Amino acid sequence: MADVIERVKKIVVERLEVEADKVVEAATFQEDLGADSLDLVELVMAFEEEFAIEIPDEVQEQINSVGDAVKFITERV
Amino acid sequence: MRRVVITGIGLTTPLANGREASWSRLIEGQSGVGRIDTFDADDLACQIAGQVPWKSGRGGGSEDDPASFDPDAVMSAKERRRIDEFILYGMAAADEAVADSGWTPETDDEKFRTGVLIGSGIGGLSSIADTSIVLHEKGPRKISPFFIPGALINLVSGQVSIKHGFKGPNHAVVTACATGAHAIGDSARLIASGDADVMVAGGTEAAVCRIGIAGFVACRAMSTSYNDAPETASRPYDEGRDGFVMGEGAGILVLEEYEHAKARGAKIYAEVAGYGLSGDAYHITSPDTSGNGGERAMRSALEKSGLSASDIDYVNAHGTSTPAGDETEVRAVERVLGDHAKNVNLSSTKSAIGHLLGAAGAVETAFCALAIRDNVVPPTINLENPSFEAEVNLTPKTAVKREIKAAVSNSFGFGGTNAALVLKQVD
């Protein structure tokens, strides 16, 4: 779990070019971290690549925060 | 008719990043052509190009050269991953041109009256090639959401408008190697007709990639005999010429309605006095051997400018260093100039930077404006032995100081599309 959180944070910081301390589990990608719809698609692709999983489109729509991503990925890996 | 003047110039060329460095190196007779160093070119018949010198060392640049290109100065690494390099170069040159013009629209109305019209001949060719490999090897789910907006030609105009808040006409031209000239001419018309007061106009290209070189080599259009002497490969009018050398970069101008420019005390380089267009209706890649298409574009531009042939001092030729096209164009220029031809300097600045395709016409129009500003004709470097006798002075090897009150820039593209621009000094 801790490992997943760190890896997710690293990807978010890198892809969205945001400060690491803003990437907390409660942070939402669009409101808090300034991502747009295309950023989100790219972010999900990066998660898929990093964790070698597939995140279906209907699940993507429910991943709105860092915590949502960590939760979904932890269940899969 | 409203008059249109040039109040800002931005250049990113194989000679340098930046207007003044590109211009001074051009006048010194330097070449921006070298061996391709951004990908493996060993199996290509043409292994050389005019690459923009980067601070990272690519394209012959260096950290120590203040005129080497610094991508971080244009946009962040994150933003750069999402666009093809033709957009990056276009943004860089647009930033310089806008800063040079000093025009920063504040009110809504000023923003609505400021537009962008930047074209490209090919657009995101390298991105398209790379992404098609991803599609083939990894499947459709691995395609970046930024692939399409990072490769579309009109996204240069889009990106520039977003960055600077220009909300006027937003447009793009695609006419192969005449793109830059058409973008400037069409922008001037938009200002003349009252659609805008200011237009950021020009062309950008970054097609120096494996598929780009391989494609033009297949057209039998490129130089292939000078892989070991790249600086000498682009040699318009010389008997040793054997095809064009591809260049990359961007040329962007800020065009402005004359009274608008005067009212804010803007520096004025030159007036865009005339613009002419024509089609060859002849062949998809070869120019009409009669030169009639180019001739009609020049005559039309001259007529629109209100000048006569005897007012022209300098012609920046299309002159790509191909065996057939160079002489055909010079003959057409001489027919237009008539008895005055012997008094005119003509040069091909492609000798120094190669052929920037969709950016060529814009970069060369910028060179014409700087030639008018400084009263100096840039040289046709590498012109040792002309393959034919010309009435005009082909300006071999060294720049020539002379008064330049009016200049013509020619651009011709695949498909038989021709454009000519007439610039003149503003008193």
Q: Look up residue B158 and give its amino acid.
A: G
Give the C-alpha separation, B418 to B249, whole Å. 21
- Could you read off the pLDDT of B81-106 as tens digits, one per residue? 999 999 999 999 999 999 999 999 99
Residue of A3, A32, A36, A57 marked active site: A36
Please say if the pLDDT value at position A1 is more than 80.
Answer: no
Q: What is the per-residue pLDDT for B178?
A: 98
Please say if the pLDDT value at position A76 is more than 90.
Answer: no
Q: How far is CA B363 from CA A55, B22, B348, B403, in A?
A: 47, 10, 12, 21
- Could you read off the pLDDT of B369-403 as tens digits, one per residue? 999 999 999 999 999 999 999 999 999 999 999 99
**Does residue B355 carry a catalytic annotation?**
yes
Give the C-alpha separation, B140 to B145, whole Å. 11
Distance from CA of B78 to the nearest CA of A (A): 7
- Could you read off the pLDDT of B55-64 as tens digits, one per residue? 999 999 999 9
Rounded mean pLDDT, B341-355: 98
Give the C-alpha separation, B422 to B192, whole Å. 15
Rounded mean pLDDT, B152-158: 98
Sheet holding B170-171, edge to edge: B170-171, B114-119, B198-205, B249-257, B4-12, B270-279, B417-424, B406-413, B314-316, B345-347
Q: Which residues of B touch A15 (CB under 8 A)?
A: 78
CB contact under 8 A, B76 and A17: yes
Give the C-alpha separation, B99 to B9, whole Å. 9
- Top residue of A11, A45, A59 to mutate, by most chain B CBs within 10 Å, is A45
Please say if the pLDDT value at position B8 is more than 80.
Answer: yes
Q: Which residues of B touch A42 (CB under 8 A)?
A: 144-146
Looking at every residue in chain B, the average pLDDT score rounds to: 97
ipTM (interface pTM) = 0.88
Distance from CA of A67 to the nearest CA of B (A): 23
By C-alpha distance, the chain B residue nearest A18 is B78
By C-alpha distance, the chain B residue nearest A37 is B145
Strand ranges for A1-77 from DSSP E:
none
- Select the residue of B77, B78, B146 nearest A38 (Cβ to Cβ): B146
CB contact under 8 A, A45 and B76: no
Please say if the pLDDT value at position A2 is more than 80.
Answer: no
Q: Tell me which residues of chain B have a C-beta less than 8 Å from any C-beta of chain A.
A: 76-78, 141-142, 144-146, 149
Residue of B46, B164, B171, B177 marked active site: B177
Q: How confident is the model at residue B427 (pLDDT cuts 50, 70, 90)?
A: confident
Q: Which residues of A touch B144 (CB under 8 A)?
A: 42, 45
Q: How confident is the model at residue B154 (pLDDT cuts 50, 70, 90)?
A: very high
Please say if the pLDDT value at position A10 is more than 90.
Answer: yes
- Could you read off the pLDDT of B219-239 as tens digits, one per residue? 999 999 999 999 999 999 999
By C-alpha distance, the chain A residue nearest B144 is A42
Q: What is the per-residue pLDDT for B364?
A: 98
Q: How far is CA B53 from CA A14, B66, B121, B182, in A?
A: 27, 11, 21, 27
CB contact under 8 A, B78 and A41: no
CB contact under 8 A, B145 and A42: yes
| Residue A54 CB partners (closer than 8 Å, separation 6+) | A48, B141
- Top residue of A12, A13, A17 to mutate, by most chain B CBs within 10 Å, is A17
Rounded mean pLDDT, A9-27: 95
Q: Which residues of B touch A17 (CB under 8 A)?
A: 76-78
Please say if the pLDDT value at position A67 is more than 80.
Answer: yes
Q: What is the per-residue pLDDT for B128?
A: 98
Q: What is the per-residue pLDDT for B316?
A: 98
Q: What is the per-residue pLDDT for B249?
A: 98
Q: What is the enclosing helix (H) or strand (E) of B423?
A: strand B417-424
By C-alpha distance, the chain B residue nearest A56 is B141
- Could you read off the pLDDT of B11-39 as tens digits, one per residue? 999 999 999 999 999 999 999 999 999 99
Please say if the pLDDT value at position A52 is more than 80.
Answer: yes
- Could you read off the pLDDT of B261-280 as tens digits, one per residue? 999 999 999 999 999 999 99
- Select the residue of B77, B141, B146 nearest A42 (Cβ to Cβ): B146
CB contact under 8 A, B78 and A16: yes
Distance from CA of A14 to the nearest CA of B (A): 8
- Select the residue of A16, A38, A45 nearest B142 (Cβ to Cβ): A45
Q: What is the per-residue pLDDT for A77?
A: 81
- Could you read off the pLDDT of B279-328 as tens digits, one per residue? 999 999 999 999 999 999 999 999 999 999 999 999 999 999 999 899 99
Say what angle helices A37-51 and A66-76 make with each other, to 10 degrees.
30
Q: Which residues of A touch B77 (CB under 8 A)?
A: 17
Q: How confident is the model at residue B420 (pLDDT cuts 50, 70, 90)?
A: very high
